[in-house]
Amino acid sequence: MIEISNLHKSYKMGANSLHVLKGINLDIKEGELVSIMGSSGSGKSTLLNILGMLDEADEGSYMLDGVPIKNLNEKKAAQYRNKFLGFIFQSFNLISYKTALDNVALPLYYQGFPRNERMDRANSYLEKVGLADWAGHLPNELSGGQKQRVAIARALASDPKVLLADEPTGALDTKTSYEVMDLIQKINDDGRTILVVTHEHDIAQMTKRIVNLKDGVIIEDTVVSQIRAMENV
């Protein structure tokens, strides 16, 4: 699903340049649930932004579902991103004056879905994340965990093949974090490929594979032998 090879990325800062990704090779198959770990500044978000087609690498190749991303023009890249990728953020990024239902439906509007289908999909994904009864509520009437569930429903509504989650539990208490990871595991059980950036080891243990970054290189890539489930945490 995701194949990257020899990926490099530097940020220019005045006369200096900061080499953040230094030759990343990573192959993620359809249906994997992978966490990306590493200390602050190791390049996790930079890598996730490139995988999410929000930023470009300086060097190396990135194939998403067999398509070399470099060859897409801006319009094609945006279409491809909308179709294949869903995003989940630490800070939820919900629109405060829109209801949970409208937050989930909004990206579908921009993707040109007719109103009926937008509402059907938004309702069914809110139900999937356990929030059918909260459709008419505004974000500030929801708990942190509920907000993240709305954000997950929004990411799923356009049925992307890959979900990219940047510290999805970073703003949540421990119990709520495990509940959100439990939902992420269930979504992965349906066959969706998911990448989770996290600082927390117990969260990474709820994924199937852990990729460890240090100073812009992968220093470890391991299969989780005993994946933690909600019942055992």
* Site residues, ligand ATP (CB under 6 A): 11, 13, 18, 20, 38, 40-46
The H-or-E segment that residue 83 falls in is helix 74-84
Q: Shortest approach of ligand ATP to residue 211 CB, angstroms?
A: 12
Among residues 103 and 177, whose Cβ is nearest to ligand ATP?
Answer: 177
4 vs 156 by CB, closer to ligand ATP: 4
Closest approach of ligand ATP to the CB of residue 38, in Å: 5
CA atoms within 13 A on the CB side of 114: 2
> Distances in Å between the alpha carbon of 214 and those of 33, 43, 46, 227?
20, 8, 13, 23
Beta strands 217-223 and 209-214: pairing type? antiparallel
To ligand ATP, the closest distance from the beta carbon of 12 in angstroms equals 8
- Taking the complex as a whole, the smallest distance from the CB of residue 219 to ligand ATP amounts, in Å, to 13
Burial of 227 (C-beta count, 10 Å sphere; 0-12/13-18/19+):
middle
Residue 34: strand pairing partners: 195, 209
Tell me which DSSP letter residue 54 carries.
S
Let me know: does 213 contact 187? Beta carbons within 8 Å: no
Pick the closer one to ligand ATP by CB: 45 or 185: 45
Closest to ligand ATP by CB, 41 vs 114, is: 41
Pull the structure tokens for residue 10. Answer: 């530097």
For the bound state, the minimum distance from the C-beta of residue 232 to ligand ATP, rounded and expressed in Å, comes to 27
Cβ proximity to ligand ATP: between 43 and 160 the closer is 43
